Amino acid sequence: MLKVLLLDLGRIMRGGQRQVYYLARALNRAEGFEPLVAVPEDSPLIPLLKADSIPFAALPSHNDYNPMNIFRVLGIIKSFKPDVVHSNDAKGASLAALAKKLRNTFRLVHSRRVSYRLKPGWSRNKYLMGDVLVAVSREIQEVLVDCGVPEEKTTVIHSGIDPTMYTSESRRHPVLTLGAVGALSSQKGFEVLIEALAHLRKSPHMPNWQCMIAGEGPMQQDLKRQAEKLGLADSILFLGYRDSREVLPEIDILTVPSVDGEGSNAVIKEGWATRTPVISSDLPSNLELVTHEHDGLVFKNRDAADLATSIVRLVNDPELNEWLVANGAESVTGYTDKAMADRYMALYKGLRS
């Protein structure tokens, strides 16, 4: 039996936490594996873990340097005796690396989900302590190597989604509905989308439209002020946090205007799964997923006018719309939760051999 301790210190349910759940669920169902998930006692993962009867251990804090967290993790390692400890976020990587320094009885795997460079010192060294660093895109792998991580210690495993959790049944609005889903943070580029909407307001080739933005985060008020300044407040619905599975069936065109730091964007795959046409920025990580004019349209990063042009094009070309949707439904089959989990399980087995 191969024992795997999954560690995540995230406060809110984002893409990385969803991947931990999918992976834990697959390990719990697979023969030859025994998973245990270590998360803070108020982690958003706990209800999901309980619902699927996935074993978990509660940690006192979200803080990687909290002494009680360190003692708790060391106690879990002593009693559970994992073959592999797998960290899934930056703070989890710190805690796992500290445990490795103090109790070097396991193989350490880090997953890196953002393409930002590693900072000098401990922020970099904790990743160097890993036996394997899993990048969720080739871009992230290249960044890790450029930061001094030996390439032979890295591998790429794209994040996956569970396609069975999504519906392609439309609940479209009477008016054309554009949309975006994600945390309202600087990396997601929603200010570019709002600027693009101002361009659309001037276009003679657009029907009446509205835009739905689902998410919450530190930029919420700034984005609302931008919308008001551009005279778009009545055209943009800020929904707050909404599960993408609820929102996507209501959207006619999904925009993914990420400007930096992106990993393996789940929203693109969710758009494919719900048969929603996708327009994404040309970040390298997005281009690993989207092929321009095949399963999505691609616009120049941070170029609001180019995004607006792409929207107008898609609105006025039903055949292109259908083509992108059909190919997207095929593309998503390569990025399932099962494909992701199978690759991790093969990785774990290789570490033990």
H runs (alpha helix) in 147-233: 190-201, 220-229
DSSP 37: E
The residues pairing with 292 across neighbouring beta strands, listed in sequence order, are 296
Q: How far apart are CA 174 and CA 168, in angstroms?
A: 18
What pLDDT is attached to residue 167?
A: 83
Please give the distance of CA 111 from its chain centroid, rounded to a whole number: 12
- pLDDT band for position 262 (50/70/90)? confident
Note whether 188 and 220 are within 8 A (CB): no
- Count H helices and E strands in the chain, helices first: 14, 13
Q: How far apart are CA 244 and CA 179, in angstroms?
A: 11
pLDDT higher than 90, residue 313: yes
The two three-digit tokens of residue 150, written as one number: 């030996």
**Average pLDDT for residues 139-147, to the nearest whole number?**
96
Q: How far apart are CA 251 and CA 125, in angstroms?
A: 43
What pLDDT is attached to residue 54?
A: 98
Q: How far apart are CA 200 and CA 285, in angstroms?
A: 27
Whole-model pTM?
A: 0.90
What pLDDT is attached to residue 59?
A: 97
pLDDT higher than 70, residue 127: yes
Element (H, E) at 177: strand 176-181
* Minimum mean pLDDT range among 62-66, 273-277, 330-334: 62-66
Q: How far apart are CA 41 and CA 59, in angstroms?
A: 6
> In the Cβ-directed half-sphere of 272, how many Cα atoms lie within 13 Å?
27
Please give the distance of CA 176 from its chain centroid, rounded to a whole number: 27
- pLDDT band for position 168 (50/70/90)? confident
The two three-digit tokens of residue 220, written as one number: 């919420």
pLDDT in tens, 232-258: 999 999 999 998 999 999 999 999 999
Q: How far apart are CA 332 and CA 274, in angstroms?
A: 10
H runs (alpha helix) in 115-262: 122-128, 138-146, 190-201, 220-229, 244-247
Terminal alpha carbon distance of the chain: 13
Q: Which residue from 157, 163, 160, 162 is spatially nearest to 348, judged by alpha carbons?
A: 157
What pLDDT is attached to residue 15?
A: 86
What pLDDT is attached to residue 238?
A: 96
**Average pLDDT for residues 176-195, to the nearest whole number?**
96
What is the residue-averaged pLDDT of the chain?
95
The two three-digit tokens of residue 186, written as one number: 């600087």
CB atoms within 10 A of CB 201: 13
Domains and CATH numbers, the chain: 2-160+336-352 (3.40.50.2000), 163-334 (3.40.50.2000)
H runs (alpha helix) in 135-210: 138-146, 190-201
The two three-digit tokens of residue 168, written as one number: 């392609």
Task: With H, G, I as helix, E, B as strand and everything else as coil, classify residue 320.
Answer: helix
The two three-digit tokens of residue 202, written as one number: 């001037």
pLDDT higher than 70, residue 353: no
Dihedral sign computed on CA atoms, order 86, 87, 93, 94: negative
pLDDT in tens, 2-44: 999 999 999 988 889 999 999 999 999 999 999 999 999 999 9
pLDDT > 70: what percent of the chain?
A: 100
The two three-digit tokens of residue 254, written as one number: 């999904």
pLDDT higher than 80, residue 172: no
